[in-house]
Amino acid sequence: MSSLAQTKGAVSGKITDQQDKGMQSATVSLLRVKDSAVVKFTVTDKAGNFQFESINPGQYFVSISAVGHAKAYSEKVDVIEMPYL
């Protein structure tokens, strides 16, 4: 008997302003590339950091919005399946 373990990935990053300072309380959304559906969303911490955990394999992009700033989008992000070793 054999079994396969499927693992999920994570997407994380840091949102900064024009002076390279971390942007606190920016809204960050993880969206699927194929249909732009929102998968998860969060708010950045004091240093501008965010993290999405337990993400299924696939292609995503990140949308960032903050008061006083134009909405921004990331490049495509590939989350791949990695088997347990």
Domains of the chain as residue ranges with CATH: 9-79 (2.60.40.10)
- Give the residue among 30, 14, 38, 28 at the shortest CA–CA distance from 66: 28
pLDDT (0 to 100) of residue 83: 65
CA 13 to chain centre: 7
* CB atoms inside a 10 Å sphere around CB 75: 6
Query: Per residue of the chain (85 residues), what is the pLDDT tens digit?
Result: 344 455 689 999 999 999 999 999 999 999 999 999 999 999 999 999 999 999 999 999 999 999 999 999 999 999 987 666 5
pLDDT (0 to 100) of residue 42: 98
**Under 8 Å CB-to-CB from 41, ≥6 apart: which residues?**
27, 28, 29, 30
